[in-house]
Structure 1
Amino acid sequence: MANFREKVVLVTGASSGIGEATAIKLAEYGARLFLVALEEDKLQVVQQKCKEKGLVEEKIGYCSGDLSQSAFREEIVKNLIQKFGRLDILADNAGSVLFANVSETKEEDYDRFISVNQKAKLFLAQLCLPYLKETKGNIIYMSSIESTMAHPGIVVYCMAKVAIDMLTKCLAKELGPHGVRVNAINPGFIDDTNILGNSSRKFTDEDKKKLADKFSKLAHLKRAGKPADVVSLLLFLASDEASYITGSINNIDGGYHLYP
C-alpha cells in the first residue's frame, strides 16, 4: 500500500462504521486526519483509537456538527486549513438510510435526507476544491450498489446514491485538467456499521442479524461485507497507485449486483 504519511485527509462520517475504520487505518499509515461527524463524544472515541495506532495529538483534529448546515461546512474547512495548511484527500463517508416508499415519503423527511446525503456532498467538495487543486489531491465518495438496483422501500436513498454517482463523474471531468481525481465506492450490505441504527427505523440486534444473513445469501461470495473490505478499496483509490483512475464507480458487494 502506498505511503499516506503526512497526507492530510478529511474524513466525514468518521464516528462509526466505514468512516471510523477509514480513520483508524489511515492513522496506521501516518496520515494527518481531520474527522467529522454529528456526535462529538463518538468522535473523541475514534480520535483516541487513532492515537493508539501511533498518531500524535498534533496530527489529528475533529469537528462535530450537522453537515446539512452551510455554516458548519465552512467551519470544517476553515478549521482544517488553520490546523494543517493543506488538504490532499476528501473521504466523504457520511450517510444514512430513509426507509419509505413513494406513498409513505414525507416532504420534510425528503428535504432533511437530501440535505445531508446529497446537497452537503456537492457543497463540501466545492469548499475543498481550491485546496485539492493545489495538492492535486482526490475525492472518494461513498455511494451504494442501490444506485443501480431499484428498491421501492428506500426510494429516496436510491435517488441520492444515483446523484452521488453522477456527481462523481461530473466532478472527475471538471477537475481532471487540474490533476484532481474523483471516484465513488458502491458497497452492498456491510455488516458492523451504524447505518441501520441511524436510520429512520429502529433496528434491533436481531433485525440486523437477519439482514446480514439475508444479504450473505444474496451475495455470490456468500458472506456480508465488513468495513475493512471497503476501506481496502478506499485506500487504493486514494493512493498514488490509482493515479490514472478517475470518474470510476466501484461496486464492492460480493457479487450481489449480479443477482440472480
Structure 2
Amino acid sequence: MAYFREKVVLITGASSGIGEATAVKLAEHGATLFLVALEEDKLQIVQQKCKEKGLVEEKIGYCSGDLSQSAFREDIVRNLIQKFGRLDILADIAGYAMFSNVNETKEEDYDRFVNVNQKAKFFLAQLCLPYIKETKGNIVYLSSNSSTIPQPRIIVYCMVKAAIDMLTKCLAKELGAFGVRVNAINPGFIDGTNILRNSGLKATYEDQKKISDNAAKQAHLNRVGKPADVVSLLLFLASDEASYITGSINYIDGGKHLYP
C-alpha cells in the first residue's frame, strides 16, 4: 500500500500484540510512525523490528508513559508534531482487560480501567484533532465484540467497549464535515497478544490454552483470531480504499457476535 508512504501514523499500545503487529506492517509499507506504550524497553524492540522491515530511523519516533495522565498525552502530541510536523492517522489500540463481576470490582480498579481504556481515548483524540483535520485524516479505535455481547465476568470491560463504539459514531458525525473518518474494529479473542497477562489474570499456559480453545468453539469459523487478521482490517480502514467508510463498527471475531 504505497498510500502509507506519505502518512504519519500515531499508534498507541505499540509495544506488543495488535499494536506491535500494526507498527511492523505499516513499516513494511513505508509509513512514518510514532509509537506509544507504557514500557520504553519494549518500544525500542518494536522500533528495531520496524527498522528491519526497511523503515529508516528518521521515520520512527516513540514516547513511553501512562496514557491515563493528561500531561503524558500532551507530551505525545507535542513530540510527534515537533518531530514530523503533521498527523494523518490515529490508531488507538492501547488497552487491557479487567476480569471481575460487580461484587468483586473495587472502585480504584474501576477508575484506573476507565481512565486508561475510555477517558484517555477521548482526550487523546481531542489533542490530535486539529492536526487530523488539517490532513483530512482518520481515526481507528480498537474496541471489542464485548461491546454488544454481555459477559458478567468482564462487566466493566463490556461497558467501556460499548462507550468506545459510541465515541466512534459520535466523532464520525461531528467530524464528517471536515473530511475526517472515524471507525472501530471489534475483535473477538485474538491469540498471540498479552491481553491476559496485562489484565493481571494469573493464567498458566494451560489456562490460556483453555480460554483460547473455548473462544474457538464459540466462533462460527471454529478458530481464534491472530493479530494479522486485525491488522489487515485496520490498514484497509485507515487507507484511501475506505474513503467512504466512517462511523462503522467492524466485527472480526469469526462470527461470534452472531450468537445469542
Task: Specify the alignment match of 1:189 in structure 2.
Answer: 189
The answer to whether the Cα contact below 8 Å between 1:2 and 1:241 also exists between their aligned partners in 2 is no
| Aligned 1:8-157 pairs, distance under 5 A | 8-157=8-157
Measured against aligned partners, the alpha-carbon deviations of 1:1-20 in whole angstroms (never above 9, x if no partner) come to 45210200000000000000
Q: Greater CA deviation, 228-237 or 194-203?
A: 194-203
Answer yes or no: is the 8 Å Cα contact 2:2–2:30 preserved in 1.
no
CA distance in 2, matches of 1:203, 1:75: 34
Tell me the equivalent position of 2:226. 226
Q: Distance in 2 between matches of 1:20 and 1:205?
A: 22
Query: One-letter code of the match for 1:67?
Result: L
8 Å CA contact 1:2–1:239 kept in 2: the answer is: no
Q: Deviations over 1:68-95 (max 9, x none)?
A: 0000000000000000000000000001
Give CA deviations for 1:90-132 in whole Å, capped at 9, x if unaligned.
0000010111001111000000000000000000000000000
**In structure 1, what is the Cα distance between the partners aligned to 2:253 and 2:25?**
21
What's the TM-score, normalizing by structure 2? 0.99
Q: Is the 8 A contact 2:10 2:90 kept in 1?
A: yes
Distance 1:3 1:222 in 2: 34
SS in 2 for 1:228: helix
Deviation of the 1:259 alpha carbon: 2.3
CA offset digits 1:40-75 (Å, max 9, x no partner): 000000000000000001000000000000000000
Q: TM-score with structure 1 length normalisation? A: 0.99
Distance 2:245 2:12 in 1: 22
Structure 1: which 4+ aligned runs deviate by more than 2 Å? none
Q: Which runs of 5+ in 2 are unaligned?
A: none
Amino acid of the residue matched to residue 36 of structure 1?
A: V
Q: Distance in 2 between matches of 1:77 and 1:7?
A: 16
Aligned residues: 260
Give the % identical residues: 82
Distance 1:12 1:210 in 2: 29
Deviation at 1:180, TM superposition (A): 0.3
| 1: CA distance, partners of 2:202 / 2:237 | 34
Amino acid at match of 1:45: I
- Structure 1 unmatched runs, 5+: none
SS at match of 1:196: helix
Map 1:212-251 to 2 at 5 A: 212-251=212-251
Please tell me whether the aligned partners of residues 11 and 36 of structure 2 are also in contact (alpha carbons under 8 angstroms): yes
